[in-house]
Amino acid sequence: MLNDLPIRKIIHVDMDAFYASVEQMDDPELKGKPIAVGGGGKRGVISAASYEARQFGVKSAMSGRLAEKLCPELIFVRPRFDRYKEISNRIRKIFFDYTDLVEPLSLDEAYLDVTENKIGLPSATLIAKKIRQRIYDEVGLTASAGISINKFIAKVASDYNKPNGQKTVNPEDVLQFLEDLDIRKFYGVGKVTAEKMYQKGIFTGKDLKSKSLEYLDKNFGKSGRYYYYVVRGIHHSEVKPNRIRKSLAAERTFSENLSSEIFMLEKLDHIAEEVSKRLEKSKVAGKTITLKIKYSDFTLQTRSKTLPYFISDKSIILETAKELLYQEKLNNSVRLLGISLSNLNTDKDKQSKPIDEDKKSVSVQLKFDF
């Protein structure tokens, strides 16, 4: 039945170059200059870049060396995560003045469900404007926002008018918006998947929509069903104020590439200890241990093992990580190792309701005032 489709007004708020903007706010001498948070030193990786730096192609997850080649005048700033968390908490307090349905994704972005809000304002668009203005007036930073009928579309829309802008995709515009959307802008479609879609003639949402559920299942596995529904405006994920942690991890990037497993064992010991401490602090345990290996050529490999019981003890984590390390020969020298635990004892099995793809649509929302 069409009436089964949930009717929501969702805002996705995304801070503009958050870490870099905090640094520029706290140090006026950095304003208007290309800066990178992190990335210093021989093996540093950038956590965030200011918009001035982005004009040169500098971006997060890029090596500091490459960033410096792209922008010789780049200023590297040491990260201050305690400060970013402090600012993030101030911003979240503003969110809670409008709704209790706030789902943080990270320090710099969150979903808000304002279908029913604390100020009784029917327009999600106006609420987003008020929130962004308050962030600027009370914190001193700019934010962008996307507003629409579900989390997927709101997140995509928040990237449209960055920085310091917002975009509303009204219910009656949803289907056309998704059909016109470049496949690379679909949240959940990474670089590898986009290339695969290109090879199959899928360049826009309209191309994706033309493919059957069977075709997408066959070619894209379990993600195929997700793509099939989101391109039709169907995304049932609710804004969850208390997000359940799905995994917990720690990793280290080395100053020199490691070529022998023997040299990696000491590193794994420290990483396992960090993971164990985080598990204890969060009061959780997990069954699945995953070893992450990033090689010197930046290729990534993961190896996993699921135990029949929940663990949080460092010794078991370390022994399992060692077993995974020796599972097969390394492809190259290693620049990064990481250990994560998933399948946590906080997970809850959820049965999603079956969807009749022939009947479901966003038409029920067309009368919904945004």
Catalytic residue numbers?
A: 109
For position 243, what pLDDT does the model report? 67
Mean pLDDT of 228-236: 90
**How many Å apart are CA 94 and CA 81, to the nearest integer?**
20
Among residues 18, 16, 10, the alpha carbon closest in space to that of 168 is found at: 10
R_g of the chain, CA atoms, integer Å: 22
Q: Which of 44-48, 138-142, 209-213 has the lowest mean pLDDT?
A: 44-48
Q: Please give the DSSP secondary-structure letter assigned to residue 148.
A: E
331 in helix, strand or coil? coil
Stated pTM of the model: 0.72
- The answer on pLDDT for 94 being more than 60 is yes
Q: Which two tokens stand for residue 261?
A: 């497993």
Type of residue found at 275: V
Q: Which of 206-215, 227-236, 253-262, 336-345 has the lowest mean pLDDT?
A: 253-262
**How many Å apart are CA 179 and CA 75, to the nearest integer?**
41
**How many Å apart are CA 344 and CA 278, to the nearest integer?**
13
For position 2, what pLDDT does the model report? 31
Peptide bond into 163 cis (omega under 30): yes
Contact criterion met (CB below 8 Å) for 103 and 85 = no
Strands 10-15 and 109-113: antiparallel
**353 burial type by CB count under 10 A (0-12 exposed, 13-18 middle, 19+ buried):** exposed
**How many Å apart are CA 345 and CA 283, to the nearest integer?**
10
Strands in 137-188 per DSSP E = 143-148, 166-168
| pLDDT tens profile 263-293 | 899 899 999 999 999 998 888 999 999 999 9
What is the chain's mean pLDDT, rounded? 88
Q: Which two tokens stand for residue 188?
A: 């959940």
- The answer on pLDDT for 221 being more than 70 is yes
Q: Which of 3-7, 48-52, 193-197, 271-275 has the lowest mean pLDDT?
A: 3-7
**How many Å apart are CA 74 and CA 38, to the nearest integer?**
12
**How many Å apart are CA 242 and CA 252, to the nearest integer?**
29
| pLDDT tens profile 173-194 | 999 999 999 999 988 888 889 9
Number of Cβ atoms within 10 Å of the Cβ of 145: 28
Element (H, E) at 290: strand 286-295
**How many Å apart are CA 257 and CA 299, to the nearest integer?**
13
Q: Which two tokens stand for residue 248?
A: 């917990």
Contact criterion met (CB below 8 Å) for 92 and 100 = no
